[in-house]
Amino acid sequence: MSALDPAADPTPTGRDAAIDLGVFRTNVSILAARAVGGPLVIDMTADAYGHGLVPLARVAAESGADILSVRDRSDVESIADAGISIDVHCWHTSRFAIPPAGSGIAAFGFGWELTDGAPAGIVPVMTLSAPVLSVKRVPEGHGVSYGLVYRAARETSLALVPLGYADGIPRGATGSGWMAINGRQYPIAGRIAMDQVVLDVGDAAVEPGDRAVAFGPGVEAEPTAADWAAHSASTAGEILARIGRRVPRRYIDREVSR
């Protein structure tokens, strides 16, 4: 079974970071078309911002990138060992050991921090989701999570989702974060914990096993990594780079037409 064949890919049942190599390929191609008069450098630090260095390096090399930028010598070796042929710049062991100025993370779907966003056609590559583990009916006034800072405004249903700050959901987004289930948005109720969050789903027909989407391209009601960054005084790059080790990365390759 090919890891890149979506038809052969089992439906995930647990935490899941789906990384769409087709989207990444298109993003790099768009950047390559714009990089007239200079090499296209893709910032692949932080394990390609949490996407996984080698699979992304292979697609970048095939899609018009000229240079990949990494920190560690071991990253250079990983790319070479995988048989990927592309220039890799490693600032940490270079003569001057100065990291390059931020080249942005447009290849992963997000704009430059201090400009007005990503070039047209750029789409986020990663979708983070997890199953609803339980749905529980509680009365008005029921508290939720540490400190009981959240109280149900009326009788409601609480959906438990196994994504917490150990998995990369920033605790600082407590009070403003939300996720999507079945194309609808639900607020996080109470403090974001290490392993889990609770969504207040009201009277919606949410069932255990339904997928809660923490972020994605933002096309089906789900937030984007940039939304989480706004909730937690951070950047989309950090949200992506800090997805934890308990979340398996799953590579898909959908046809992209734009």
Nearest CB to another protein, comparing residues 2 and 94: 94
The CB-of-14 to another protein minimum distance in angstroms stands at 6
Among 146, 153, 155, 205, the residue binding another protein under the rule CB under 8 A is: 146
| Complex with another protein: residue 22 or 190, whichever CB lies closer | 190
Other residues' Cβ atoms within 10 Å of the Cβ of residue 248: 11
- Based on the shown chain and the rule CB under 8 A, indicate whether residue 14 belongs to the binding site for another protein: yes
At position 201, the amino acid (one-letter code) is V
Q: Does 165 bind another protein (CB under 8 A)?
A: yes
Under the criterion CB under 8 A, does residue 137 sit at the interface with another protein?
Answer: yes
Burial of 216 from C-beta contacts in 10 A (0-12 / 13-18 / 19+): buried
Residues 61, 84: contact at Cβ < 8 Å? yes
Using the minimum distance from each CB to another protein, give the nearer residue, 134 or 185: 134
**Residues 138, 230, 252, 256: which binds another protein (CB under 8 A)?**
138
CA dist 210 and 130 (Å) reads 8
If one asks whether residue 124 binds another protein (CB under 8 A), the answer comes out as no
Report which of 72, 78, 76 is spatially closest to residue 92, judged by C-alpha positions: 72
Give the Cα separation of 9 and 48 in Å (integer).
23
Q: Binding residue for another protein (CB under 8 A) from 238, 247, 251, 253?
A: 238
What own/partner pairs with CB < 8 Å and gap ≥ 24 does 146-153 have? 146/190, 146/191, 146/193, 147/190, 147/191, 148/190, 149/174, 149/175, 149/190, 149/191, 150/189, 150/190, 150/191, 150/200, 152/189, 152/200
Indicate whether 208 belongs to the interface with another protein (CB under 8 A). yes
98 binds another protein (CB under 8 A): yes
- Interface residues with another protein (CB under 8 A) are 13-14, 43, 45-47, 49-50, 71-74, 77, 92-93, 96-99, 102, 131-134, 136-138, 142-148, 150, 158, 160, 162, 164-166, 168, 171-172, 189-190, 193-196, 198, 208-209, 232-235, 237-238, 241-242, 244-246
